[in-house]
């Protein structure tokens, strides 16, 4: 069964460093998402992406964050200058159609630790 994959599974970085989290969505999916979950808290929406554009972003997704689909398979989340509070599990998701009609399939997550 096709699945969303994410790399790396765990990333440790120093505060102020840039990180890029990578995702390979399911191949025939057109809608892509990033969510995060701080330890012990709710899963929070960050951004949705369709047709090479951001569809919606949350208040969390400020100028330090960016997303890109650099080729036909990868979907990346970049954090330009990490802060301690960026430490969280980051989940990528994809769906064939938009969130209003279709299931979102999640990857296993990247645990980001900012020291």
Partner 1 sequence: SQQGEEDPQALSIQEGENATMNCSYKTSINNLQWYRQNSGRGLVHLILIRSNEREKHSGRLRVTLDTSKKSSSLLITASRAADTASYFCATANDYKLSFGAGTTVTVRA
The footprint of partner 1 (CB under 8 A) covers 33, 35, 41-45, 48, 55-56, 58, 89, 91, 93, 98-109
CA angle 74, 76, 77 (to 5 degrees): 165
Tokens of 67: 């997303």
Closer to partner 1 by Cβ: residue 34 or 82:
34
Closer to partner 1 by Cβ: residue 4 or 19:
4
* Residue 114 beta carbon to partner 1: minimum distance, rounded to whole angstroms: 18
* Residue 16 beta carbon to partner 1: minimum distance, rounded to whole angstroms: 27
Closer to partner 1 by Cβ: residue 54 or 81:
54
* Residue 79 beta carbon to partner 1: minimum distance, rounded to whole angstroms: 19
Neighbours of 54 (CB within 10 A): 12
Neighbours of 21 (CB within 10 A): 23
* Residue 88 beta carbon to partner 1: minimum distance, rounded to whole angstroms: 12
Closer to partner 1 by Cβ: residue 12 or 43:
43
What beta strand segments (E) does the chain contain? Answer: 5-7, 10-13, 19-24, 31-37, 43-50, 53-57, 65-68, 75-79, 88-95, 105-106, 110-114
């Amino acid at each position: 069964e096709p699945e969303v994959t994410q790399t790396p599974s765990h990333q440790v970085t120093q505060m102020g460093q840039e990180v890029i989290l990578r995702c390979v969505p399911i191949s025939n999916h057109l809608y892509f998402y990033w969510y995060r979950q701080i330890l012990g808290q709710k899963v929070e929406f960050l951004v949705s992406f369709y047709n090479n554009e951001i569809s919606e972003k949350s208040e969390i997704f400020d100028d330090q964050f960016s997303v890109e689909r650099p080729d036909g398979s990868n979907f990346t989340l970049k954090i330009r200058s990490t802060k301690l509070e960026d430490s969280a599990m980051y989940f990528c998701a994809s769906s064939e159609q938009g969130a209003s009609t279709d299931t979102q399939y999640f990857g296993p997550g990247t645990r980001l630790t900012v020291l």
